[in-house]
Structure 1
Amino acid sequence: MNKEKRLEILTRLRDNNPHPTTELNFASPFELLAAVLLSAQATDVSVNKATDKLFPVANTPEAIYALGVEKLKDYIKTIGLFNSKAENLIKTCKILIEQHGGQVPENREALEALPGVGRKTANVVLNTAFGWPTIAVDTHIFRVSNRTKFAMGKNVDLVEQKLLKVVPKEFKVDVHHWLILHGRYTCVARKPRCGSCIIEDLCEFNEKTSD
């Protein structure tokens, strides 16, 4: 895909949604970190249902650590992999308390050192909580980038590298959210809804649908 097409795609996505953000409910960097940690292999809807009950009771590292693993599990048991996620979140809270004064560090290396936090989660936190121009490539972004031929790569790391290279600076902070939302609601996995897509004429997918 050429530079002109990419620019037009990004412009249309921006015009359609000038101020995109995550669909996870959060009111602080720690709430975002906790929600993203819980969202692995789970829907944002299911995570929000759990955190809407958890956060009014405990929404700081100190408060969640005080709950303990078993009580935390009661709040998040409707989420997939809740046992390991509870263990990781408690361990993360302990590290935040002991090493970072109870604050979420604005530092990639420190974030990736937290249990259950990988590069993708760190990218989401740095982008959404702190405004960094990072791009967290999940299954939606990986699919949209390859299917449209916007930024092709054989794995998520290669797609991230390509996106960072081809997306102009003015779009970098928001492109993560635009592509996720596009993949979640329009360029869906089984049968993309090409007929209702605002970038259909620019997309280089060869098997477009009429939906």
Structure 2
Amino acid sequence: MNKTKRLEILTRLRDNNPNPTTELEFSSPFELLIAVLLSAQATDVSVNKATAKLYPVANTPEAILALGVEGLKEYIKTIGLFNTKAENTIKTCQMLVDLHNSEVPEDRAALEALPGVGRKTANVVLNTAFGWPTIAVDTHIDRVSNRTKFAMGKNVVEVEKKLLKVVPAEFKVDVHHWLILHGRYICTARKPKCGACIIEDLCEFKDKTE
């Protein structure tokens, strides 16, 4: 895909949604971190339902630590992989208390050192909580990037590197949100809704639907 076409795609996505953000509900960097940690292989809707009950009771590292693993599980047991996530969340909270003054570090290496936090989660936190021009590539963004031929890669890391290379600076902070929402609601996995797509004429996917 050429530079001109990419620029038009980004411009249309921006015009359609000038102030995009995550669908995870949060009111602090810590709440965002825990929500993203819980969202692995789970829907944002399921995480929001759980955190709506959890955060009024415990929305700081100390408060979640006070719940303990078993206490935390009661709040997140409706989320997939909740046993592992409860353990990682407690360990993460302990590290935040011990190493970071109970604050979420604005540092990639420090974030990725937290249990259950990988590159994608770190990218989301740095982008959404701190405004960094990072691009967290999940299955939706990987699919949209490859299907449209906007930024092709054999895996999520390759796609991330290509996006960082081809997306102009003015779009970098928001492009993660535009692509994930596009993949979630329009360019869906089994049958993309090409007829409802605002970039259909620019997309290079061969098997477009009606």
- Class of the TM-score when normalised by the shorter of the 2 chains: over 0.9
Deviation at 1:182, TM superposition (A): 0.1
Alignment match, 1:67: 67
Equivalent residue runs for 1:59-208 within 5 Å = 59-208=59-208
Q: What is the percentage of aligned positions where both structures have the same residue?
A: 84
**Could you tell me how far apart the structure 1 residues matched to 2:14 and 2:65 are?**
39
Residue 13 of structure 1 pairs with residue 9 of structure 2? no
**Could you tell me how far apart the structure 1 residues matched to 2:172 and 2:186 are?**
21
Amino acid at match of 1:11: T
Per-residue Cα deviation, 1:28-54 (whole angstroms, up to 9, x for no partner): 000000000000000000000000000
Residue 46 of structure 1 pairs with residue 75 of structure 2? no
Q: Which portions of structure 1, spanning 4 or more consecutive aligned residues, are displaced by more than 3 angstroms?
A: none
TM-score between the two structures when normalised by the length of structure 1: 0.99
Aligned-CA RMSD value: 0.2
**Could you tell me how far apart the structure 2 residues matched to 1:155 and 1:39 are?**
20
**Could you tell me how far apart the structure 1 residues matched to 2:120 and 2:61 are?**
21
Residue 31 of structure 1 pairs with residue 18 of structure 2? no
Amino acid at match of 1:138: D
Deviation at 1:114, TM superposition (A): 0.1
Deviation at 1:12, TM superposition (A): 0.1
Amino acid at match of 1:129: A
Deviation at 1:60, TM superposition (A): 0.4
**Could you tell me how far apart the structure 1 residues matched to 2:155 and 2:71 are?**
37
Amino acid at match of 1:102: S
**Could you tell me how far apart the structure 1 residues matched to 2:70 and 2:40 are?**
20
Amino acid at match of 1:181: L
Runs of 5+ unmatched residues, structure 1: none
- Secondary structure of residue in 2 paired with 1:11: helix
Deviation at 1:209, TM superposition (A): 0.2
Amino acid at match of 1:23: E
Alignment match, 2:55: 55
- Secondary structure of residue in 1 paired with 2:135: coil
**Could you tell me how far apart the structure 1 residues matched to 2:109 and 2:201 are?**
40
**Could you tell me how far apart the structure 1 residues matched to 2:103 and 2:66 are?**
16
Amino acid at match of 1:85: K
Matched pairs, number:
210
Deviation at 1:122, TM superposition (A): 0.1
TM-score between the two structures when normalised by the length of structure 2: 1.00
